[in-house]
Amino acid sequence: MFSVVTVFGAPSPRENRIFVPNEYLLNIPEMKLWQKNGTDTAEVDRFTVGLDREMDLSLARADLLGSLAHTRMLATIGLLAQDELADVQRELKAIYRTVEQGDFRIEEDIEDIHSQVELLLTRRIGETGKKIHSGRSRNDQVLVDLRIYLRREIYEIVGGVERLFRTLQRLADRHKEALMPGYTHLQIAMPSSFGLWFGAFAEGLVDDLTMMEAAYRVCNKNPLGSAAGYGSSFPLDREMTTRLLGFDTMSHNVVYAQMGRGKTERLLAQAMSAVAATLNKLATDNCLFLCQNFGFIAYPPELTTGSSIMPHKKNPDVWEVMRSKCNRLMALPNEIALMTTNLPTGYFRDLQLLKEVLFPAIRTLRECVEMADYMLQHIEVKHDILNDPKYDYLFSVEVVNRLVLSGVPFREAYRQVGLEIENGTYSPLREVHHTHAGSIGNLCLDRVDALMAAVLERFAFDRFLQAEAALVAE
């Protein structure tokens, strides 16, 4: 006997309804992948699943890519016939398209993304859909999903940071002649420039991406084939799945592959916190420099906010919110470390909760990078700031250095200028002669560009981008 089944996410309306043997339907109750019978406790389900369905939607694309590679490998070791492989590959790619179109969902009574994909396959192609889990555990399946998902997010973060870097470098070059006060202890110190200020954040992003590259190297290793953490008696070809998925290499030791859960997230969080720290300082400077007591910069009115009572207000709310968001991002490595501390070797359900803190944090960082770039594209720099007499003392070191060049020992020149300041006879020389590498007169922007280019080249994203494109190609 056959029953008519409506297929969710079918490629076309014509394929929405298919005839399925009843024995298939009898074998597809609302069961977890780990269940042997249909018993379940709703309270336990609600507590343990939590937000996992929502989080797993982010992994849908990665889960399908992993299954596309895994099933191709299964066919080479005799666990899938060629006709079965063709059916599986066709339907996995069809489901992938629904994800790309934004039409994919995880049904309410389905536990996770792995269960949803296997259920959809079994509805469409019957018993063959149940074969795709051969040689896998949900442990290594979620591991490979996370690695695929996180490396793509690193790619997006790096792209955003690169765009922000280019904006900062352009601003540094454009405003290299515009002087501004430099501060230590929030006291006026020495002359600086907007070229130095913008350029400092640009170079900081180079180091931040160096940390991100280290996280990417750890992330871009294939854990698939480690199963529950102790391997499989099937002759799995892990080199093949590594190549098909575009990983640099594999996590060789199957126990260590499982130990990478939590470690990968923590290393990425540390790299993200480095970018966040740079943005946090940039946001704080913008808040300070925009206020009337400084008045170094300005933004168009539409990029600031007003007050419900004070009509003159132009508040830097974007930068203030960004500063707070980045503070939270800088706490992320500690949160992940505390969530994973005291765990013995092996998989534990504690690790599921990492998605709930990491996935939203990734979105937050990407938004902050994008918004910082947008704001800076509209920044207005004030010129002639140092003409104000309150900045006269900025040039005290220039006066000392002028005396040293005339032959006066530095310590004596320092004492002489200090006494002039105390007795009110100090007269500044409003000239700045800095020519050494990295100073006001020699920003070394070309060298910083070269540093960034070298970091970006080392990521070698093309490997996984090309591999993923090949997996889903028709």
* 338 backbone dihedrals φ, ψ, rounded to 5°: -70, -30
DSSP string, 354-387: HHHHHHHHHHHHHHHHHHHHHHHTT-EE---GGG
Looking at the DSSP assignment, which residues form a beta bridge with residue 439? 442
pLDDT of residue 23: 45
302-343 pLDDT tens trace: 998 877 788 787 889 999 999 999 999 999 999 999 999 999
pLDDT of residue 5: 43
Q: What is the pLDDT of residue 234?
A: 97
Q: Which residues contact 466 (CB under 8 A, 6 or more apart)?
A: 246
Environment class of 185 (CB within 10 Å of its CB; exposed 0-12, middle 13-18, buried 19+): exposed
Locate 33 and state its tokens: 């992948």
Output the six-digit token pair for 209: 């991406």
| Residues of the chain falling short of pLDDT 50 | 1-29, 34
Res 40: pLDDT: 62
pLDDT tens sequence across 332-387: 999 999 999 999 998 888 999 999 999 999 999 999 999 999 999 999 999 999 99
Closest CA to 8 of 85, 112, 119, 90: 119
| Best CA proximity match to 286, nearest among 365, 208, 373 | 373
> Residue 423: is it exposed, middle or buried by C-beta count within 10 angstroms (0-12/13-18/19+)?
exposed
In this prediction, residue 38 carries a pLDDT of 57
Instruction: Report the pLDDT value the prediction gives residue 33, as an integer from 0 to 100.
Output: 54
